[in-house]
């Protein structure tokens, strides 16, 4: 039987009971596969790798070594959340690497979006490989592959995402416990494993992270403006009860300035663009009609709290012709 094919009679995992049965099954399968050997996992903090981590912690505890690479392009607080949940709450064996400077140095002056993506993806694999080599006695590599990745394995996702396979390290085998699950099932399993809802219900986040939302050549000042404005947007959406109503939302800081005036003096500062969309499958998307007061509150806060920003805009463009991300 092809182990990469979902059996026709496999039930859709949509209840805590079905999730619990799946977890028991996979815990037994992983134990049988790896015995007392060690397993390595690149834990980005995204839904898929988080669910695999939680499942493997349940199955093999400290035999799992998670490596979290902070590429400096995470949303505000995200790396800290990964450490808090996995190291402090789940007692995982977690190696945290802050590679911010390494990534930002490599990206300095790079304008082209595809080159940026390649640098981020390539550097990620290198950092992960270096770390893997330092760790002794690792036999298996775990991955958060899910069923749509297999269905799309003409490579769409593979080069879409950061964190490919370290290809010059030999592992005895791969551990891919959720590879036959659809995304909604991964979330149900994640909840059954006790992961926080905020982690399991996360919005899609590009592998290159904020790198695709800080358009053109990434600079530390614009990256700071992006991270802070994004955090304000999330906070205000939360307060307004929009977090579960809008499919995806974030800010963008483009690489052009405009004129403003601050304390009687002309300034030449960055704009922040708010992007919010509703969609079913991300192939097309509409823009929600947000409450004016909410938009105004977000605008006022960004202008008051984020240095180097003199304008806030709301992107009203549907997909198509616009894409959801700006780059
Ligand atoms: P676009 O911009 O093509 O985005 O309309 C569609 C959806 O895909 C997400 N996206 C990515 N997801 N790796 C991912 O896993 C990526 O590199 C990437 N780029 C865009 C985007 O956030 C939106 O939800």
CA 206 to ligand 1 center in whole angstroms:
5
Question: Which of 45, 73, 210, 282 most suits a substitution to test ligand 1, by most atoms within 8 Å of the C-beta?
Answer: 282
- Strand-pair partners of 271: 311
Q: Are residues 49 and 148 in the same domain?
A: yes
Average per-residue pLDDT in the chain?
Answer: 94
Q: Is the pLDDT of residue 161 over 70?
A: no
Q: Is the pLDDT of residue 198 over 50?
A: yes
Q: Are residues 167 and 112 in the same domain?
A: yes
Domain presence at residue 322: no
Residue span of the structural domain in which 47 resides = 16-200
- Helix H or strand E encompassing 10: none
CA distance 228 to 221: 11
For ligand 1, whether the C-beta of 325 sits within 6 Å is yes
Whole-model pTM: value is 0.91
CA distance 63 to 92: 9
* Ramachandran angles phi, psi of 10, nearest 5°: -70, 125
> Into how many domains does the chain fold?
2
Query: What is the number of other CB atoms lying within 10 angstroms of the CB of residue 119?
Result: 17
Q: Are residues 126 and 271 in the same domain?
A: no
Q: Are residues 194 and 228 in the same domain?
A: no
Strand ranges (DSSP E) for the chain? 38-42, 64-70, 93-98, 138-142, 173-175, 248-252, 258-262, 265-277, 309-314
For ligand 1, whether the C-beta of 208 sits within 6 Å is yes
What percentage of the chain carries pLDDT values higher than 90? Answer: 91
For residues 205 and 227, the answer to whether their CB atoms sit within 8 Å is: no
CA distance 98 to 69: 6
Q: Are residues 183 and 108 in the same domain?
A: yes
CA distance 159 to 28: 32
For residues 256 and 217, the answer to whether their CB atoms sit within 8 Å is: no
Q: What is the pLDDT of residues 259-283, one digit of tens each?
A: 999 999 999 999 999 999 999 989 9
**Ligand 1 nearest atom to the CA of residue 277, by list position:** 24
For ligand 1, whether the C-beta of 100 sits within 6 Å is no
Please give the C-alpha separations between residue 11 and each of 8, 22, 25, 148, 185, in angstroms, as whole numbers. 9, 10, 14, 16, 10
CA 153 to ligand 1 center in whole angstroms:
16
What is the radius of gyration, based on Cα positions, of the chain? 21
The predicted structure's pLDDT at residue 195 = 96
Q: What is the pLDDT of residues 283-306, one digit of tens each?
A: 999 999 999 999 999 999 999 999
Residue 299 is part of a domain; what is its CATH number? 3.30.300.10
Quick one: the chain helix, strand, coil %, rounded to 5?
A: 40, 20, 40
CA distance 90 to 57: 8
Q: Is the pLDDT of residue 162 over 50?
A: no
């Amino acid at each position: 039987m092809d182990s990469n094919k979902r059996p026709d009679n496999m039930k859709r995992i949509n209840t805590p009971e079905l999730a619990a049965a799946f977890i028991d099954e996979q815990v037994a399968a992983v134990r049988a596969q790896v015995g007392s050997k060690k397993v390595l996992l690149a834990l980005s903090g995204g839904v898929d790798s988080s669910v695999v981590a939680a499942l493997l912690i349940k199955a093999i505890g400290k035999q799992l070594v998670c490596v979290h690479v902070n590429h400096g392009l995470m949303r505000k607080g995200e790396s800290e959340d990964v450490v808090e949940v996995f190291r402090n709450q789940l007692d995982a064996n977690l190696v945290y690497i802050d590679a911010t400077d390494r990534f930002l140095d490599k990206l300095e002056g790079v304008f082209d979006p595809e080159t940026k993506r390649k640098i981020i993806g390539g550097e990620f694999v290198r950092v992960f490989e270096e770390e893997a080599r330092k760790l002794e006695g690792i036999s298996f590599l775990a991955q958060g592959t899910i069923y749509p990745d297999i269905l799309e394995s003409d490579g769409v996702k593979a080069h879409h995402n950061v964190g490919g396979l370290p290809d010059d390290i030999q592992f005895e085998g791969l551990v891919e416990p959720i590879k036959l699950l659809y995304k909604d099932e991964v979330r149900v399993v994640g909840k059954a494993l006790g992961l926080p809802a905020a982690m399991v219900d996360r919005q899609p986040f590009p592998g290159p992270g904020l790198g695709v939302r800080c358009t053109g050549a990434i600079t530390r000042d614009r990256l700071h403006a992006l991270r802070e404005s994004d955090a304000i947007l999330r906070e205000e959406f939360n307060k307004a009860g929009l977090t579960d109503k809008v499919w995806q939302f974030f800010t963008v800081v483009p690489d052009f300035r405009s004129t403003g005036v601050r304390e009687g003096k002309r300034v030449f500062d960055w704009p922040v663009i708010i992007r919010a969309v509703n969609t079913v499958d991300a192939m097309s998307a509409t823009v929600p009609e947000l409450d004016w007061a909410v938009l105004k509150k977000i605008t006022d806060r960004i202008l008051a709290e984020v240095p180097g920003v003199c304008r806030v805009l709301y992107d009203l463009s549907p997909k198509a012709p616009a894409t959801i991300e700006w780059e």
